[in-house]
Amino acid sequence: MERAIIVLFGVLLAVVAWARIPRPRGRLFDLLGITLIMALLVESYGTWCLAYRPTVPNSYAYNLYNLLELALLLLLFDTHRPRLRKWYLAAGGLVLVATGWSMTRYAPLEQLLTPVILVYALTMTLLLMALLWDLAQHSKVPLQRLPMFWLFMGLLVYFGGLAPIIGLTPYLLEIDEHLAARAYLIMPVLGAIRYLLAAVACSMERARRRAGT
């Protein structure tokens, strides 16, 4: 329960920071806002289920959210750097193929589609590394002064950490269930870092606009 609250607090902080950006926010930050609000709704629902309906499966909400988040993040990336569009389309296609395969082997209303999450995390990690490299090559100011650097870095920490946890957990469960449970404790920390860095990005964008730069 405490772990869920940590992530929920991080999302809420990011939403507040986003809401403080002056309008019009632009397509990129509009897409980010939709993503953050959806995350807030899903994490709130997940926390409520843990508190009041712990025996009721809520995996379907996360399975659906992952696909919606994928679409929004790919649109956000395309808005930022459209010349990498073919890679965004390839990533989206891979996740959709993984989804189709997983739905024939899992019960998506009752189970998390872990193969989908693994493919999603791996493709996002590669895309974010490419975007950060591109940012480093073309930026005329130090990276730490760019809101997109912090947003992409938060996403990279999250998805880059998520992939090995999701990939190794089935094997850890066979060896040591206690170790697998401890590995899962890392996930809320990754989520909190992701949203805290998104809040940093939004705060920097707000400051940049107020300064007129």
Q: What is the pLDDT of residue 166?
A: 83
pLDDT, tens only, 194-208:
999 999 999 999 999
Domain coordinates in residue numbering, the chain: 2-211
pLDDT, tens only, 43-54:
999 888 888 887
Residues 6+ apart with CB under 8 A from 178: none
pLDDT, mean of each 10-residue run, the chain (213 residues): 83 98 96 98 90 82 95 98 96 96 86 91 97 95 96 98 84 74 84 97 95 75
CATH, domain range 2-211: 1.20.1070
Which residue, among 9, 13, 3, has the nearest Cα to 51 in the 3D structure? 3
Which residue, among 171, 140, 170, 134, has the nearest Cα to 152 in the 3D structure? 134
